[in-house]
Amino acid sequence: MPCALITGFGPFPGVPRNPSGVLMRRLASTPRWHRLGWNINGVLFPTGYSVVSRMIAEHAEAGQRPAFVVMLGVAARTKWLRVELRAKNRVSIHHRDAAGNRPATFQLEHSPAVTRLGRHPGAFLVSTLRARQVPARLSRDTGRYVCNAAYWQMLGAMPSSTEIVFVHIPMPARAGILKRDPRPTLAAMEHALVALVDAMIRRARINR
């Protein structure tokens, strides 16, 4: 049975209930994947630099070769879903993670490499999300927090044949104020992200 990973994050300062973790659990438990013959594993990352690095390394060392990885993180100030095109070898030394730790240097790795490109059909995925009536855009800025660090490390740890996409989601709108809030609800994002995972499965079948 082919497999894939969906990842999300736990709480961090300012976001006590992280919707990326909620959506990860919902997506990973969608019955449709088993009916299609796929094993979709959900992984919840605590929002900490060292623990995320360790967990990604453990998955890679265990010999897991997922066909694709869909990574979810929250960007609290955005109003749309952002399909990230790249990860940067940069990190902020000013923002503490959920464990209260800060990086010692501005680089994630002591390497001349500046960026790692996401391995996914970005424009096609944005179109897939928009077709489910949620706002979505391509993005070249993953920030300098744990989301960017996780994307950078996942791209470096997994085989080059594994498609990897990071999607930043907004904080979900509340159902009672939809007309005044341009952000999608949690249910709307779940519906759109199911379509995105479905699209990744179809691509994996073609590429096998």
Closest CA to 57 of 146, 133, 158: 158
Homologous superfamily assigned to 3-207: Peptidase C15, pyroglutamyl peptidase I-like (3.40.630.20)
The first and second tokens of residue 173, run together, are 């709108």
Inter-residue contact 108 to 149 (CB < 8 Å): yes
Enumerate residue ranges in the chain where pLDDT < 50: none
Give pLDDT, residue 198: 97
Closest CA to 89 of 17, 142, 134, 52: 142
Q: For 45-96, how does the pLDDT look when each residue is reduced to its tens digit (9 = 90+)?
A: 999 999 999 999 998 888 778 999 999 999 989 999 999 999 999 988 888 8
Give pLDDT, residue 96: 85
Q: Which residues contact 198 (CB under 8 A, 6 or more apart)?
A: 32
Give pLDDT, residue 93: 86
Element containing residue 20 per DSSP (H, E): helix 19-28
Element containing residue 127 per DSSP (H, E): helix 122-130
* Cα 107 to Cα 121: distance, rounded to the nearest angstrom: 27
